[in-house]
A and B are shown apart, each in its own frame.
Chain A
């Protein structure tokens, strides 16, 4: 498959994701590693854009105190799957609140299938310490718990 056609499939997917993201932030999925365009292949994309900071964090629309962090790994399939969209096969979606030079996590959804156990390889979420600090249940380490989820879409 010609590289330009692979790029077009990725572009269509990224366009759709950016349309969804546009409800949340002015940022866009933009960054990909420079790699050969042969299928099957994977692409790693990162939310970014002119309004992002050095960490590629984007302010949430309507509440610029909150920052959004989005990363995805896309799988572009073989010729037989030519018309299908790339699949999201790993991701991070995270909301952060900046505080001085630091960031407090509000909530995060992760899927890291190629990590080495005991890192979790199934989709999961974390409730940030900012939320759990006042809880009567495990206030000091609830944020470290991996809460299983199904795959999460944008």
Chain B
């Protein structure tokens, strides 16, 4: 993603790789875990010991990383 924004550059697209890197940085900073671990624990609904506000914040970073916010439903279907 370009780091230079001008007035005509209203919408900018983020690749899944860039989204995963952003999710990883945010997860490590706000929760002290990697992005991959956050994805795993989100799908497993293993979040009780984490800061709930940061969990809600990272929820919004999931689609940028290519992970649907209802990905936990796949666990229920398989279970």
Contact = CB atoms under 8 A, between A and B. Distances in A.
A11 interface: yes
Contacts of A7: 11
Contacts of B13: 31-34
Given A115-B69, A126-B53, A128-B53, A50 B11 contact: no
A34 B14 contact: yes
Interface in A91-126: 91-92, 94, 102-103, 105, 108, 110, 112, 114-116, 118-120, 126
B53 A11 contact: no
Interface residues of B, number: 39
A28 B72 contact: no
Contacts of A138: none
A132 to B, nearest CB: 12
Nearest to B15: A34
A92 B64 CA distance: 14
A50 B3 contact: yes
B17 to A, nearest CB: 11
A33 B66 contact: yes
Interface in B1-21: 1, 3-5, 9-16, 19
Contacts of B64: 31, 33, 44, 46
Contacts of A108: 53, 56-57
Nearest to B53: A126
A110 B57 CA distance: 7
A14 interface: yes
A102 B1 CA distance: 25
Interface of A: 7, 10-11, 14-15, 18, 28, 30-34, 44, 46, 48-50, 54-56, 69, 71-73, 90-92, 94, 102-103, 105, 108, 110, 112, 114-116, 118-120, 126, 128, 143-144, 146
Query: Closest 8 interchain pairs by CB?
Result: A71-B60, A110-B56, A114-B69, A126-B53, A30-B12, A44-B63, A116-B72, A31-B14
